[in-house]
Structure 1
Amino acid sequence: MRLVTQWAFGVFALDQASKYFVVHVIDLWSRQRIDVVPPFLNLRMAWNQGINFGLLSNGTEIMRWVLIALALAISTWVWFWVRREPHSRIVHSSAGLLIGGALGNVLDRLVYGAVADFLNMSVPGIDNPYSFNVADIAIFTGAVGLVVFTGRDKTT
């Protein structure tokens, strides 16, 4: 379980450090947009009150707490599920990615009332309106890793 904890802590720290830097140090909160390598990589401030792509974002305070509770419940379930029986190192790493990312977004909801999204990637001719963050990348990667690698050769 040490590997799960290390990945979760690392992702959580990287996510929160990147959000602090973008929101407070370079003041993306006020500037709203910074073109880094247009159109491939841009910083676009977005406060996501829902889940991916703004789903379930109705702006109510109760939904904020429902999403916090859901993220904590899923993180807890994944932790105990991985702990319950032997899994490969890649499954433990995937669980840590998912848990660290989920907890990073939970802290945003507690501190800001919404998740701070700021990474935006597009291609020439197609303007992607959505932003994401390090936690979102970790959650997605961790979830895919759990699906793909669970049930394979189980080693501790």
Structure 2
Amino acid sequence: MSFMTKEMYFTIALLSYENGVICGHLHSPVLKKSIQLHNLTELILIMDQIMKDLNIPEYDERYHHVIIKNQLLDVELDYQELKQDNFEKYLNRSLMYPKKSKDIFMVKVMYRQNNTWQGKITWLRTNRVRFFRSELELANLIYSVIDKYHK
């Protein structure tokens, strides 16, 4: 990857939510194609693997570093060759989501410190923005929207 951005961008398009299980697609400008999701755990694991593979955002090694090989992830990740002149095109393309999506979230991971992520999530239906300090807090924000609006 010849072009490096300091943040990682993801679009999460949820298609269904039944009995606590989400289904949908994960989009990112670094991926050649979207990835189908079957649950929130899979979503977090895939996002984490992408950031580890590309080191975006760069991991802050001033803090202790634990390397865990993810045995649960069984998804092939195919990355784009990003350059400064095509990044915006791929970012805009990753924002294209199925029209039948129930909810769409934009996630921007700005930092990876203390073995977790920090960033912001925007729920596109209401343009509501929240900041998160960990993957667990991100998952909780997604579930809070789903639980409130899809009962």
| TM-score (normalised: structure 2) | 0.27
State the structure with more CA Rg: 1
Structure number having the greater strand percentage: 2
Structure number having the greater helix percentage: 1
